[in-house]
Amino acid sequence: MSGANDFDLFRTSEFHEELRAAVQEVVKDKIAPYAAAVDEEARYPQEAHDALVASDFFAPHVPEEYDGVGADALATCIVIEEVARADASASLIPAVNKLGSMPVILGGSEAIKATYLPPLARGEAGFSYGLSEREAGSDTAGMKCRAKADGDHFVLNGQKSWITNAGVSQYYTVLAVTDPDGPRGNNVTAFVVEKSDEGFTFGEKERKLGIKGSPTRELHFDNCRIPADRMVGDPGEGLKIALRTLDHTRVTIGAQAVGIAQGALDHALAYVKERKQFGKHIADFQGIQFMLADMAMELEAARQMVYVAAAKSERNDADLSFFGAAAKCYASDVAMRVTTDAVQLLGGAGYTRDFPLERMMRDAKITQIYEGTNQIQRIVMARQLLKG
């Protein structure tokens, strides 16, 4: 039958599975042992940072021409997934490096790519993303941050909220209004701001439910003067570039959610096979087996959605907006259900910090919120459907 070999398309390649095994080794030796302490102390996972740099997993998406390893979208997702399986906070290092730099990759000039991508690829600098504000979260076009032209510079004033790895990253893609009287949504421009720029400071670290190892802070701009050649794309194109960026990076949040859920299922399986009640292992009870089956079934469906979306991201398919939103939305909802059920399977033990399940449950929640809440994802999907 013609096309029979096409069934191989539904299998990850040998390269991707070798990559997975390599990431798993790094995670086992250099990331997992510190995950509980990172959460307990709410500190940046420096051990994971250093291990990811040493293994070229810090920003694997950067193309080879900019000193990167040129990992495709699926490979990048696998890195994030496997790190998140042990520590969601650490998985935000490669995820946010992609988020912050993707506007540069999609819309930046050759000069700006050559300036900012090689240090990122080498692990010398992290890259964060400044889009949301206090009063402009889901309503991104309602932002108030301003960038006013002044000769061959722009002067930034305003703030950004909920910025992942703020204070740790050296580079920030920042969206600001450059034409206050212009049409809404077409008056925003993207810029690269450097941590050392005068007038650029950070708020206090947010005290969060989960991902405590990843610092979340506000960005403050007080007459922050930056060269005009730090503009990403053309004036007024910022929001278009930002939304194109999210089409690609929502897939990585889906991968993070899959990793968190897989880690929770791993621990739950190990526990139910050891724990005994009524004279036998609780894994032998049909009620427990049904829970495990549902958890694994939904998790695998989420993983396949993420991988399909990653392939579409790599090809830049026309329907990426739908699949990126669907993968992020479904995988994060699954992560919340699986981690909650995993806590339930451990009973009282799952509610304690002696096991990582309560941390994974807390970490899973943010995947339903950031890079667009799941309500926004459903709006994105519905609009794509209605457009045909």
CA distance linking residue 285 with residue 302, whole number of Å = 26
Q: Are strands 171-177 and 127-130 parallel, antiparallel or unpaired?
A: parallel
**Torsion region of 233: left, alpha or beta (phi above 0 gives left; psi -120 to 50 gives alpha):** left
CA distance linking residue 40 with residue 17, whole number of Å = 32
CA distance linking residue 114 with residue 173, whole number of Å = 15
The active-site residue out of 82, 218, 358, 371 is 371
CA distance linking residue 284 with residue 271, whole number of Å = 12
Residue 371 a catalytic site member? yes
Q: Are strands 153-164 and 216-227 parallel, antiparallel or unpaired?
A: antiparallel
Q: Are 105 and 79 in contact (CB under 8 A)?
A: no
Q: CA dist 121 to 66, 97, 186, Å?
A: 7, 9, 31
- Positions of E strands within the chain: 127-130, 146-150, 153-164, 171-177, 188-194, 200-202, 216-227, 231-232, 276-277, 280-281
Please calculate the CA angle 267-272-278 and round it to the nearest 5 degrees: 160
CA distance linking residue 263 with residue 84, whole number of Å = 8
Active site residues: 371
